[in-house]
Structure 1
Amino acid sequence: MKKRIGIVEDNRDLREALAMMIQFTEHFELAGSYENAEIAIESVPQSKPDAMLMDINLPGFSGIECVSVLKRNNPEILFLMCTSYEDDDKIFKSLEVGASGYILKTDGPTKIIGALDDLFDGGSPMSSNIARKVVASFSKFETKNAAIQSLTLREKEILEWLAKGKMNKEVAADLEISTGTVRKHIQNIYEKLHVNTRVEAVNLYLKR
């Protein structure tokens, strides 16, 4: 049975080219093509696609907002972002709201079809540039997490107090230690987390 593919793309020429690409692929059929998110949100529940090729920069609702709404109401649909954007924020927001893959328009028809095939095989297709960004982000997360884990229980305790806005004198009183000891612990925290200020230390701790 052919897989039904929907398209959301505001550029008419590209939308028609993508539609033609889907129609000329033997194991796919076009479920519908839409010029904006609002039309897609209204039409997709009736057209019942198996997967959607989704642009991000759309007039009105963005492609990310479109995926968020459609995925919530149609969890069985797979979403493949097909966009020109490579910035980290859009990549991770797309994945957070339910997209299963993220490719670039510049990848070309063959790779887009291959990405759809991969999607139906249970994969999470990504352009090579995008995959490198995702891997780098996880690497940064692991590095930060390792730094936090290197803190002693006392250092974590002090960071918790700092995160609540306590001053050194207040922390010392609460923990029944000297302010000099608090300062020493804070200096150790800075060194382990590779930061220079209290704000940086607290932000890193809270984002772990």
Structure 2
Amino acid sequence: MRIVLVEDNTVTRETLNLLLSGETTIDSVTTFGSGEELLAHIEYTAFDVLLVDLDLPGMHGSELIQKVKQMRPQVEIMVYTIFEDRENVFSAIKSGASGYILKGSSPRDLIESLQSLHQGGAPMSPKIARKVILEFQKVPDGDDNPLTSRESCIVRSIEQGLTYKEIAERFNISPHTVHTHIKNIYEKLQAHGRQDALKRARRIGII
């Protein structure tokens, strides 16, 4: 199995490169920091599996997935990201991803998921698999997520008990921007405070 990894975070990219390169079932790992960089070298790069983040500089991961599928339809594609909101999940799947694993999964889970993908499977983190199932079941309470990807991530950070300052540091934005996002979140969810927002977010599957 020959893997191309597209991940903009240098530490994450190098860590994954070391992890994947140490597996006997993986023949080669080629890494890129952006979708544009991969596309510039794709003509000279042989690979069977694309492991890609979604939050990339420049071209979004879903757009890259679509372009790679058009150029290399035989390549299997797995998303590896923090995003678990409906918008990103279904955008990636519709673009051509057959796997969707959340960052935070164990190294063994990631390796086994890549092997499953290469063998024709469609591995997904449990949270993602549930979202896909609920979409097809059309659960009455499962209204579409009105939040943006960033707003959804901020809601999950609030649930984890992070302060405005900690959220700002996590996403490299100002506390004022965090406050604006939270105000928008309350308005979109029609919530009357933190607990109400979390309750409504759980009901529609954001958290």
Normalization by structure 2: what TM-score? 0.66
5 Å-filtered alignment, 1:25-174, equals 25-140=23-138
Q: Deviations over 1:141-191 (max 9, x none)?
A: 799xxxxxxxxxxxxxxxxxxxxxxxxxxxxxxxxxxxxxxxxxxxxxxxx
- Deviation of residue 18 (structure 1)? 0.7
Identity over aligned pairs, percent: 34
- Separation (CA, whole Å) in 1 of partners of 2:43 and 2:69: 11
Normalization by structure 1: what TM-score? 0.65
- Separation (CA, whole Å) in 2 of partners of 1:20 and 1:45: 25
- Separation (CA, whole Å) in 2 of partners of 1:45 and 1:113: 26
Which portions of structure 1, spanning 4 or more consecutive aligned residues, are displaced by more than 4 angstroms? none
Residue in 2 aligned with 1:4?
2
- Deviation of residue 140 (structure 1)? 0.3
- Separation (CA, whole Å) in 2 of partners of 1:141 and 1:44: 41
- Separation (CA, whole Å) in 1 of partners of 2:71 and 2:95: 12
The runs of 5 or more residues in structure 2 that have no matched partner are 142-207
The runs of 5 or more residues in structure 1 that have no matched partner are 144-208
- Deviation of residue 30 (structure 1)? 2.7
What SS does structure 1 have at the residue aligned with 2:83? coil
- 2:99 and 2:123 in contact (8 A); partners too: yes
CA 142–117 in structure 1, closer or farther in 2 if over 3 Å, else same? farther
Residue in 1 aligned with 2:12?
14
What SS does structure 1 have at the residue aligned with 2:138? helix
- Deviation of residue 46 (structure 1)? 1.4
Residue in 1 aligned with 2:156?
none
- 2:5 and 2:52 in contact (8 A); partners too: yes
- Deviation of residue 44 (structure 1)? 2.6
- Separation (CA, whole Å) in 2 of partners of 1:45 and 1:77: 14
Please tell me whether Structure 1 or Structure 2 has the larger radius of gyration of its CA atoms: 1
Q: Structure 2: which amino acid aligns with 1:101? A: G
RMSD, aligned CA: 1.8
- 2:17 and 2:29 in contact (8 A); partners too: no
- 1:22 and 1:29 in contact (8 A); partners too: no
Q: Structure 2: which amino acid aligns with 1:48? A: A
- Separation (CA, whole Å) in 1 of partners of 2:77 and 2:19: 17
- Separation (CA, whole Å) in 2 of partners of 1:98 and 1:16: 25
Q: Structure 2: which amino acid aligns with 1:127? A: S
- Separation (CA, whole Å) in 2 of partners of 1:107 and 1:45: 32
- Separation (CA, whole Å) in 2 of partners of 1:63 and 1:84: 12
- Separation (CA, whole Å) in 2 of partners of 1:41 and 1:88: 27
Q: Structure 1: which amino acid aligns with 2:85? A: D
